Amino acid sequence: MTAETLHVLITMPFTDQQIEKIKSISPSLKVTAIRAHLPGEIPDDVWSKTDILYTDSVLPEPDLAPNLKWVQFHYTGIDYAINKPIMSKAGLTATTMSGANAPQMAEYAMTMMLMLGSNIKLMVENQSKSLWPDKRWEFYKLHELRGSTVGLVGYGSINRELARLLLPYQVTVLAAKRDLKLLKDDGYIPAGQGDPDGDFFTRLYPIEALKSMIKECDFVVLALPLTPGTRNLFSTDEFSAMKSSAYFIDLSRGGITDLAALKEALEKKIIAGAAVDVFPEEPLPANSPLWKVPNLIISPHVGGVSPHYNNRAVDLFCANIQRFLENVPLFNRFDPEKGY
């Protein structure tokens, strides 16, 4: 790429150090940082110059940003943005933050697997009642993670990192993904993380054979983008295919799991327990019947929250800026046909 000035607009609250790290990539970058929640909070003259936009959801109308070439989103899931007019701008590239949130989300999944298998939720509830249950050996029967079979639905950056974390537990890892020919991870992978070459699963399944996979599993972890093809992917038939002793963890996007079917599966003990971090309506309404399902752990969409997230996001953005300057394909390009 030429050494012409590239105007970069950042709408996120990055620190001075993080901004300086971005600026240091090249003297051709002119970085403007304006914390904004709405497009109107950005002056028109800034929009008109912007070549590269880093944002969570602040997107201009196409005529406001005639020079815009690339939008780097602050999040992995961008289903909320894909129908915005700017996303249809000719020649525009959009990229996601896939990979930056993998460490904390994989740890979240591990935490939920261990909590469910050890019945920690019930322990905490009994502690609040000062209750030491009779026959506690049976009451708190442990379902060990070690030696179990774990099914990973979606084999992107999150579940690849989870597969790596599971290695010491000697589990059988089964994975279901959309494209079985693409074993390598061609997205952003921080050093030492993930499963770059597709080495950490035991067997791989097409999404169409999902029920064949999950019937073998003691734990099922769902980490998929929300697309027309994944909406309500997990419903009555899928829960019925699982073992009655199995646990389900959803940390993907609200709408992929049929929550009414999940509630029924838990209440009828079709599965043993579940943890859900994402919901079609957020915040989850206080009158939702899900709050009272005893064998369900609910978390308020915090699986990806980390004090290190912005540093990881800046690292990915810097790597992508370098690739942009070198005129090579960017990491995590959004594909409208796939929907992610």
What burial class does residue 54 get, using C-beta atoms within 10 Å of its C-beta: 0-12 exposed, 13-18 middle, 19+ buried? buried
Q: Same domain, yes or no, for 71 and 212?
A: no
Q: What percent of the chain has pLDDT over 70?
A: 99
- Percent of the chain's residues with pLDDT above 90: 91
Query: Residue 223 has what pLDDT?
Result: 97
- Evaluate whether residue 216 is within a structural domain: yes
Going across the sheet that includes 203-206, the strands are 203-206, 172-177, 149-153, 219-222, 247-250, 273-276, 296-298
Q: With cut-offs at 50, 70 and 90, classify the pLDDT of residue 35.
A: very high
My answer on whether 214 and 92 are in the same domain is no
Give residue 72's pLDDT band: very low, low, confident or very high (50, 70, 90).
Answer: very high
Interatomic CA distance for residues 196 and 99, integer angstroms: 11
* pLDDT surpassing 90 at residue 182: no
Residue 140: per-residue pLDDT: 81
Bond before 283 cis per omega within 30 degrees: yes
Average pLDDT, the chain: 96
Query: Is the residue at 241 inside a domain?
Result: yes
Cα–Cα distance between 67 and 52 in angstroms, integer? Answer: 9
- Are 200 and 258 contained in the same domain? yes
Average pLDDT rounded to a whole number, residues 186-191:
90
Note whether 21 and 67 are same-domain residues. Answer: yes
Q: Is residue 177 part of a domain?
A: yes
Same domain, 119 and 256: yes
φ/ψ of 149, rounded to 5, equals -110, 125
Q: What share of the chain is helix, strand, coil (3-state, %, to 5)?
A: 35, 15, 50
Residue 135: its pLDDT value, please?
Answer: 84
Backbone angles phi, psi at 124, to 5 degrees: -65, -40
Residue 2: its pLDDT value, please? 47
Per-residue b or e along 56-90, where b marks 16 or more CB atoms closer than 10 Å to that residue's CB? bbbbbebebbeebebbbbbbbbbeebeebebbebe
Cα separation, 100 vs 305, in Å, equals 11
* Average pLDDT, integer, range 292-318: 97
pLDDT digits (tens, 9 = 90+) for 314-327: 999 999 999 999 99
Asked whether residue 190 is assigned to any structural domain, the reply reads yes
**pLDDT for residue 252 is more than 60:** yes
Within this chain, do residues 266 and 123 fall inside the same structural domain, yes or no? yes
HSE at residue 40, side-chain half, CA atoms within 13 A, is 0
- DSSP structure string for 100-147: TSHHHHHHHHHHHHHHHHHTHHHHHHHHHTT---TTHHHHT----STT
pLDDT for residue 1 is more than 70: no
Q: Is 270 found in the same domain as 191?
A: yes
When pLDDT is averaged across residues 123-146 and rounded to a whole number, the result is 90
For range 237-259, the mean pLDDT: 97
Report the pLDDT averaged over residues 163-167: 98
pTM (whole model) above 0.85: yes
Does 86 share its domain with 114? no
Residue 282 lies in a domain: yes
Q: Reply yes or no on whether the pLDDT at 241 is more than 90.
A: yes
Residue 332 domain-assigned (yes or no)? no
Instruction: Provide the terminal-to-terminal Cα distance of the chain, rounded to the nearest Å.
Output: 27
How far apart CA 207 and CA 145 sit, in angstroms, is 24
Q: Is the pLDDT of residue 195 over 70?
A: yes
Name the one residue in this structure whose structure tokens are 């494209």.
Answer: 179
Q: Which domain holds residue 67?
A: 6-100+307-325
- Mean local confidence (pLDDT), 224-229: 92
Residue 217 lies in a domain: yes
CATH code for the domain of 65: 3.40.50.720
**Residue 109 pLDDT:** 98
In this structure, the answer to whether residues 93 and 137 fall within a common structural domain is no
Query: What is the arithmetic mean of pLDDT over 49-54?
Result: 98
What's residue 226's pLDDT?
93
Domain count, the chain: 2
pLDDT at 3 over 80: no
Check whether residue 14 and residue 117 sit in a common domain: no
Query: Does residue 264 share a domain with residue 121?
Result: yes
In a domain, 70, yes or no: yes
- Residues 161, 282, single domain; the answer is yes
